[in-house]
Chain A
Amino acid sequence: MFDKMTLQVLANHARAAAENMAHTLHRTAHSAFVKETQDFTVMLMDRAGDTFAVPMDLGATWYPGLTYGRAIAMIDDYRPGDVAFTNDPYSGHVATHAPDTHLWKPVFVGDEIVAWTGGHIHNTDMGGAVPASLSRSLTEIHQEGIRFPPMKLVKEGAIDEQILRIMSTNVRKPDLNIGDIKALIGALNTGERKVRAMVERFGRQGFVEGVAALLDQAEAQARDILRAMPDGEWIFADYADEDSDHANPCRLKLTLRIRGDEAVLDFTGSDPQLGSSLNVPSGGDPRHTILLVGVYYVLYTLNPKILLNTGLTRPFRCIAPEGSVLNPVAPAAVGMRSLTCARLRSVIFGAFSQAVPERMPAAPAGNNCIVNVMTRNERTKTTVIAAVNPVVGGGGGMPHRDGTNGSGADAAYLRNTPIEITETEVPVEFVRYGLAQDSGGPGRWRGGLATQMAFRVFAPDSRITARNRDRSFFRPWGVLGGHAAGLSDMVINPGTPEERRLGNIDTAVLQPGDVLEIRSAGGGGRGDPMAREPWRVAQDVARGQVSAASAARDYGVVLWDGKVDEAATAARRAVAPKAGGHFHFGPERDGFEAQWTPAAYDRLTAILAALPIHWRFFTKTEIFRRIGVRVGAAGVDAAFAEVCARFPDLPRPAEAAE
């Protein structure tokens, strides 16, 4: 048995190895995606392919619980110096969209594989229908670029040039892809060297047992956290604004069951797989890391000393029915799963918020919008394509602190680009970049404010994309009396006669002199805003973060010349209605759910689940089209009856599905 007392020594060596891999990749990668956005991961895995160490300084936050086991098993006869890879979301369920290219390498000691090193990079482009391979409009995986099922990329140290040639022929920026892939191979080699050093330091047996102890330690930490929670069942649903272009909402529903030190996350009742690229390919794995990212945040928030590895996932089991948005079958498109994953995290946060309300924050803004500009530089006569800033919103109100402004919670890994750099490189002029007043959900602890960015272009037909925009209709929710946050929006020429609001649309074409303003949602509020200390509200007003009107309306705080009018405030607060319920969703969702009651939506997903998979999204769209003003489950049944009448070929659901 590995001596648990000094487990931290091994944990530190493992983490050092992972950080080494991350720095090697970050240092030698070619593309901005890897170097700036840091959309990559690296990890060390045990003999079964379960991750036991990840870096904490660099990279994305999604994969500490990733297991490569299934992909590893799809290749046999590994030899020293081999590196395998895949980017196919439907083979082995390691990759989750085509741009993510995963590599893994066995670490041999003698004839025995003692560990694996692995990681992924987001390739700038993998070919397919659109540049960057990502668009919400795509409808099948074949439009999203070339796919490689698990295969060897490096054989006993020699890279397979044929594979690189095939890739180069099919993608738009082959040099970037290959440069990044080679950098990742270098990182895997670094990890291999470090694992060998650990085997030398701790002995082969000591290393293998120690790695098992690290997974057990993380599992024990996760179980301790669950055990400290009450047993029970909590249901929560949240919606993405649209399930495809200009269409209907997409619901994700979670039933969280905690018993002792285990938890089941049942996603039954979530939308069927979609006819857009918003699907999340989990392969139905009950512990797929992509389903559990929200759980990592919850666990780390409750115990910041927790080890991040696959051991964390052991007490959890996810149920994601086949043919649903969280477990699509091929050839469903998956490129834009990031948007859905943001909702998936907020669904998990909402469920845990009910289980341990005293320890969880309100909803973060949850729209990690990435803005790209394509315009013409009139001076150099060249076309410029550039990423501008991410437009993200604040964190939710915390138990003892306001939500962070402008970013935070599950968006805290994003970086911006200085205005001075963007203006020097791209012919745009920023009009403003800052925080949006009144965008944070009012609460005892206010939600973090949204970011607001506006810029002007100078060339005709300048094209803007704002990927991952959401929360333009369904607000980030408040909890425990706190209010929902402000909505995201995109407006051309705000405050002028030519003003055009774009709502949830994620692209725009601008003409010379046009100004585009993009605003994210804010973070939800936590606790009754009427209980917020008046001096804080006065300070928010002095800082321009809350308007005087909102101070009076939402917080009951009356200000005269910036000073709190104690008497008027007390009077206002005395008659303020008490907020009821755990969540506050705002008028849009309340209005939507007046028609689409939880029972109605449950009825819808039950009807769809009983249909063959390729009929589900079509039928959902048709039911939405026909429901009219009818409400509730009966309304859904009536609309479905109309759909059946109009489309006699529709296979009738089995009676058992009732």
Chain B
Amino acid sequence: MDTTSQRVPDAGAADWKIGVDIGGTFMDFCALETLTGRIASLKVLTTPDDPGAELVTGLRLLAVREGLDPRAISRFVHGTTVGINTILQRKGAELALITNVGFEDVIELARLRMPEMYSLFCHRPEPLIPRDMVFGIPARLRADGTEALAPDMAALAGAVAQIRARGAKGVIVSLLHSWCDGAQEAAVKAEVERLAPDLFVFASAEVWPVIREYERTSTAILNGYVHPRVSGYLAALEARLAGLGVPARAMLTKSNGGLMNAVEGRRDCVSMLLSGTASGVIGAAWLARQAGEGKILTLDIGGTSADVALIVDGQPQFGTGEQIGEFPLYIPSVSVSSIGIGGGSIAGVDAQGVLRVGPESAGSTPGPACYGRGGTRATVTDAMAVCGWLGHSAMAYGQLRTDVALARAAVAALADQLGRGVEETAQAILDIAVSEMFVEVEKLASRAGIDLRDYTLMPFGGGGPMLGAFLARELGLAKVMAPRRPGVVSALGGLIADLRGDFIRTIYADLDAAAMPALRDGFAALAREGADWLKAQGHASAALLKLSADMRYTGQSFEIEVAIDPDWLADRAAIARAFHDTHRRIYDFNDPAGRVEVVNLRLSAIGAGPRLALPETDEVAQVARPARQVTVHLGGPRDIALYDRADLTSGAQFEGPAIVAQEDTTFAIPAGTLAHVDRYLNIHLTPTE
């Protein structure tokens, strides 16, 4: 909370916009009072037994503390984990798959390659639809979309009878080459709906009509798998909001960093699987642009994992093939890499006396030992507490306390095994945790072909600021920027996000003169779909349509996405040039004489979100005054300054080592760094020399 002053609600003039994001332990709120530009933030412990109850608690608390009137909420944006948790916990709907006879093993074979390729015990995840619920029917399209064999409706009827007999709740229809023409699939879907009106049915091409049968099928399955739960959750959410008198309709954050309304969310469930992680990056990008930073490495550390993403020229990066638990997701998503190290990662000693950290995690229950909720094994958070970085103030808006004695006891058990000191062991745990993140971030950078040293690290989430500066140093990043409210960046991201719908059409054509009409027709059709979608979201004002194409050289088996200027639809050479240039930028070479193919056309329809500005105050250069001195372990005990975040005003400066304590996180600042507070109250770290 920024202020504790009580305000009398004034429903007439008041207007609030709310972003809400659910994590593993907390529901985060970011509330903007439009009139004043004031932002209030809050965290509430989640209530897994009664999802949605924490929403009511949070809005009530905001009413009491901030004077928020639910009837004055004009915008309500929500990021939810209900979809992804359904997959992680495998609690989704029982489904059946209808596909072509002869290809019933499509989801079990997947793309063959498995993780852990050195292990004789490597295995693929159990498919979400068991093989005995997969039904092949005679039907076949050719690669050019012509029908070689019409669907055998008698066989289909037999399959549907079996599907009903076995109690499936929904049906996925995925037929070969429906990327080219969805009519055959649509006919089968219509027949299934006619025969079994009580079952929900999704056809693969209507979910995401991309070429590559496994990827398209598995995306459609994920959609159907989470559909009943997501749909139920959203209905309950809307009822709660209505009950509180909130006039705004719920909007949902999507994996692509944009928004859709809840009606759309019940049908297009697969689009929101990464909603929280994506909106974190959107929020971070917005904060970075505001502060004038173009190249950012985001670091969002929670209890079990650390999510990292790149922001280039102030923009999040997009990709397909993000991992949802054990399954890949092939719709456009904000690129986020998840690392299996978080504040709750457990440390241990192996048979050869080498210390290791993770991937096992104490999670949110029991959590780190120092939280006093039953955990006894040493975690990264405990190591931070032993080293003296944590434990000086309450955390998470007063909902958690850190018991250093419990942390010491947990770390001491390992120190005994190693025959080393407790602080020394704790420091080693931190060094190893940071080096585990180092590996994954280095991989991310080399995949993207960038030089990380040009980047600023932006830590957020509850644990990001705890380890962020140490990771930056290991990576050779000179600059760190910690936002004012690291704990609610995802909620902020939802608050400021645009409506965004993505559309794809596979055309698979050589980029020659003959292909240009197909390109123009394809984009025109996508533009109509995009405009219709925005209209359905209730967006009336101007829309932005972004065009791109997935292209490659003939003979390559992967594509790269190239942004297309609408003017180029009459200029084939310009499109080819953009591809050659992009290819060189990503792969360091190109072949201007090579034949180019266009595989997919893509379009994003964007309806701009609210234009916000953070309150800014002119910087007044001053040396910050610490709240007190605390002892940390830096190779030996040392007294360092602890600052209260609320005391750090624009223009304040101080040197590390230091600690900044605030309600939603603790920012650990190593020695050799200069901290500076900017006009938006971000803290920037730079090396002292």
- Which A residues have a C-beta under 8 Å from some C-beta of B? 4-9, 12-13, 15-17, 19-20, 23-24, 27-28, 30, 32, 35-36, 56-57, 61, 179, 183, 186, 190, 197, 217, 220-221, 224, 296-298, 300-301, 304-305, 308, 349, 360-361, 364, 390, 392, 395-396, 398, 401, 404-410, 412-421, 423-424, 429-435, 451, 454, 539, 542-545
Given known contacts A20-B446, A404-B124, A415-B112, A432 and B103 CB-to-CB distance under 8 angstroms: yes
Given known contacts A305-B356, A406-B112, A420 and B179 CB-to-CB distance under 8 angstroms: yes
Q: How far is the CA of A217 from the CA of B350 in the complex (A)?
A: 11
Enumerate chain B residues within 8 angstroms of A423, measured Cβ to Cβ.
Answer: 142-143, 176-177
Q: Does B521 have its Cβ within 8 Å of any Cβ on chain A?
A: no
**8 Å CB interface, B581-607 against A:** 586-589
**Which of the segments B263-271, B312-320, B428-436 contacts the partner chain?**
B428-436
Residue picked from B121, B211, B476, B588, most chain A C-beta under 10 Å: B121
Enumerate chain B residues within 8 angstroms of A36, measured Cβ to Cβ.
Answer: 557-558
**Which of the segments B28-36, B437-445, B564-572, B609-617 contacts the partner chain?**
B437-445
**Contact present for B213 and A419 (CB under 8 Å):** yes
Residue of A nearest to B474 (CB): A201
**8 Å CB interface, B91-147 against A:** 102-106, 108-109, 111-114, 116-124, 130-132, 142-143
- Which B residues have a C-beta under 8 Å from some C-beta of A? 102-106, 108-109, 111-114, 116-124, 130-132, 142-143, 148, 176-177, 179, 211-215, 350-357, 418, 420, 425, 428, 431-432, 435-436, 438-439, 442-443, 445-447, 449, 476, 508, 555-558, 586-589
Given known contacts A19-B443, A408-B123, A35 and B112 CB-to-CB distance under 8 angstroms: no
**Contact present for B352 and A217 (CB under 8 Å):** yes
Contact with B102, one of A301, A407, A433 (Cβ below 8 angstroms): A433
**Contact present for B354 and A398 (CB under 8 Å):** no
Contact with B355, one of A6, A16, A17, A349 (Cβ below 8 angstroms): A6
**Contact present for B352 and A220 (CB under 8 Å):** yes
**Contact present for B119 and A57 (CB under 8 Å):** no
**Contact present for A20 and B442 (CB under 8 Å):** yes
Given known contacts A23-B443, A408-B122, A451 and B109 CB-to-CB distance under 8 angstroms: yes
Enumerate chain A residues within 8 angstroms of B418, measured Cβ to Cβ.
Answer: 5
Contact with B120, one of A28, A360, A406, A435 (Cβ below 8 angstroms): A360
Q: How far is the CA of A308 from the CA of B121 in the complex (A)?
A: 17
Residue of A nearest to B123 (CB): A404
Enumerate chain B residues within 8 angstroms of A5, measured Cβ to Cβ.
Answer: 353-355, 418, 420, 425, 428
**Contact present for A28 and B587 (CB under 8 Å):** yes
Contact with B588, one of A4, A28, A305 (Cβ below 8 angstroms): A28
Contact with A197, one of B109, B116, B476 (Cβ below 8 angstroms): B476
**Contact present for B211 and A420 (CB under 8 Å):** yes
Enumerate chain B residues within 8 angstroms of A35, measured Cβ to Cβ.
Answer: 556-558
Q: How far is the CA of A418 from the CA of B120 in the complex (A)?
A: 25
Enumerate chain B residues within 8 angstroms of A221, measured Cβ to Cβ.
Answer: 351-352
Residue of B nearest to A36 (CB): B557
**Contact present for B109 and A424 (CB under 8 Å):** no
A-B contact pairs, 23 of them (CB 8 A): A7-B354, A13-B439, A16-B439, A24-B446, A27-B588, A32-B557, A36-B558, A300-B119, A304-B119, A305-B350, A395-B122, A406-B112, A409-B122, A414-B112, A415-B113, A416-B112, A417-B557, A418-B211, A418-B215, A421-B557, A423-B177, A424-B508, A454-B102
Given known contacts A224-B351, A404-B114, A542-B132, A15 and B439 CB-to-CB distance under 8 angstroms: yes
**Contact present for A420 and B121 (CB under 8 Å):** no
**Contact present for B130 and A404 (CB under 8 Å):** no
Q: How far is the CA of A220 from the CA of B351 in the complex (A)?
A: 9
Residue of B nearest to A362 (CB): B120
Q: How far is the CA of A300 from the CA of B354 in the complex (A)?
A: 17
Given known contacts A305-B356, A539-B132, A543-B131, A19 and B123 CB-to-CB distance under 8 angstroms: no
Given known contacts A364-B120, A413-B113, A432-B102, A6 and B439 CB-to-CB distance under 8 angstroms: no
Residue of A nearest to B553 (CB): A30
Minimal beta-carbon separation of A507 from chain B (angstroms): 23
Enumerate chain B residues within 8 angstroms of A23, measured Cβ to Cβ.
Answer: 443, 446-447
Q: How far is the CA of A224 from the CA of B109 in the complex (A)?
A: 36
Q: How many CB-defined contacts (below 8 Å) exist between A and B?
A: 212
Contact with A8, one of B215, B355, B586 (Cβ below 8 angstroms): B355
**Contact present for A390 and B356 (CB under 8 Å):** no
Enumerate chain A residues within 8 angstroms of B557, measured Cβ to Cβ.
Answer: 32, 35-36, 417, 421
Minimal beta-carbon separation of B672 from chain A (angstroms): 15
Given known contacts A186-B588, A298-B120, A542-B132, A9 and B435 CB-to-CB distance under 8 angstroms: yes
Residue of A nearest to B425 (CB): A5
Q: How far is the CA of A406 from the CA of B586 in the complex (A)?
A: 34
**Contact present for A401 and B117 (CB under 8 Å):** no
Minimal beta-carbon separation of A290 from chain B (angstroms): 16
Q: How far is the CA of A431 from the CA of B103 in the complex (A)?
A: 8
Residue of B nearest to A23 (CB): B446
Q: How far is the CA of A539 from the CA of B131 in the complex (A)?
A: 9
Contact with B105, one of A4, A27, A217, A435 (Cβ below 8 angstroms): A435
Minimal beta-carbon separation of A534 from chain B (angstroms): 16
Q: How far is the CA of A590 from the CA of B114 in the complex (A)?
A: 34
Enumerate chain A residues within 8 angstroms of B443, measured Cβ to Cβ.
Answer: 16, 19-20, 23, 57
Contact with A416, one of B111, B425, B445 (Cβ below 8 angstroms): B111
Contact with A301, one of B121, B215, B431 (Cβ below 8 angstroms): B121
Minimal beta-carbon separation of A312 from chain B (angstroms): 11
Minimal beta-carbon separation of B386 from chain A (angstroms): 15
Given known contacts A27-B449, A36-B557, A423-B142, A433 and B103 CB-to-CB distance under 8 angstroms: yes
**Contact present for A418 and B177 (CB under 8 Å):** no
**Contact present for B112 and A12 (CB under 8 Å):** no
Q: How far is the CA of A544 from the CA of B111 in the complex (A)?
A: 21
**Contact present for B122 and A419 (CB under 8 Å):** no
**Contact present for B436 and A12 (CB under 8 Å):** yes
Minimal beta-carbon separation of A483 from chain B (angstroms): 19
Sample of 10 further A-B pairs with CB below 8 A, known A32-B557, A401-B123, A418-B111: A5-B425, A19-B439, A23-B447, A24-B449, A390-B112, A404-B122, A407-B109, A415-B111, A420-B177, A433-B109
Minimal beta-carbon separation of A203 from chain B (angstroms): 15
Minimal beta-carbon separation of A494 from chain B (angstroms): 13
Enumerate chain B residues within 8 angstroms of A224, measured Cβ to Cβ.
Answer: 351-352
10 smallest A-B Cβ distances: which pairs?
A432-B102, A434-B105, A23-B446, A12-B435, A543-B131, A16-B442, A300-B118, A542-B132, A412-B114, A423-B143
**Contact present for B109 and A543 (CB under 8 Å):** no
Residue of B nearest to A26 (CB): B447
Contact with A6, one of B113, B211, B432 (Cβ below 8 angstroms): B432
Enumerate chain B residues within 8 angstroms of A404, measured Cβ to Cβ.
Answer: 114, 122-124
Q: How far is the CA of A361 from the CA of B122 in the complex (A)?
A: 11
Q: How far is the CA of A221 from the CA of B351 in the complex (A)?
A: 8
Minimal beta-carbon separation of B264 from chain A (angstroms): 28
Enumerate chain B residues within 8 angstroms of A432, measured Cβ to Cβ.
Answer: 102-103
Minimal beta-carbon separation of B174 from chain A (angstroms): 11
Q: How far is the CA of A409 from the CA of B122 in the complex (A)?
A: 6
Enumerate chain A residues within 8 angstroms of B109, measured Cβ to Cβ.
Answer: 405-407, 416, 433-435, 451
**Contact present for A545 and B131 (CB under 8 Å):** yes
**Contact present for A27 and B112 (CB under 8 Å):** no
Q: How far is the CA of A35 from the CA of B587 in the complex (A)?
A: 11
Residue of A nearest to B554 (CB): A425
Residue of B nearest to A7 (CB): B354
Residue of A nearest to B357 (CB): A8
Minimal beta-carbon separation of A14 from chain B (angstroms): 9
Given known contacts A8-B432, A24-B446, A32 and B555 CB-to-CB distance under 8 angstroms: yes
Q: How far is the CA of A128 from the CA of B123 in the complex (A)?
A: 39
Minimal beta-carbon separation of A437 from chain B (angstroms): 11
**Contact present for A413 and B117 (CB under 8 Å):** yes
Enumerate chain A residues within 8 angstroms of B214, measured Cβ to Cβ.
Answer: 418
Enumerate chain A residues within 8 angstroms of B142, measured Cβ to Cβ.
Answer: 423, 429
Residue picked from B105, B215, B432, B558, most chain A C-beta under 10 Å: B105
Contact with A190, one of B102, B121, B355, B446 (Cβ below 8 angstroms): B446
Q: How far is the CA of A308 from the CA of B428 in the complex (A)?
A: 23
Residue of A nearest to B555 (CB): A32
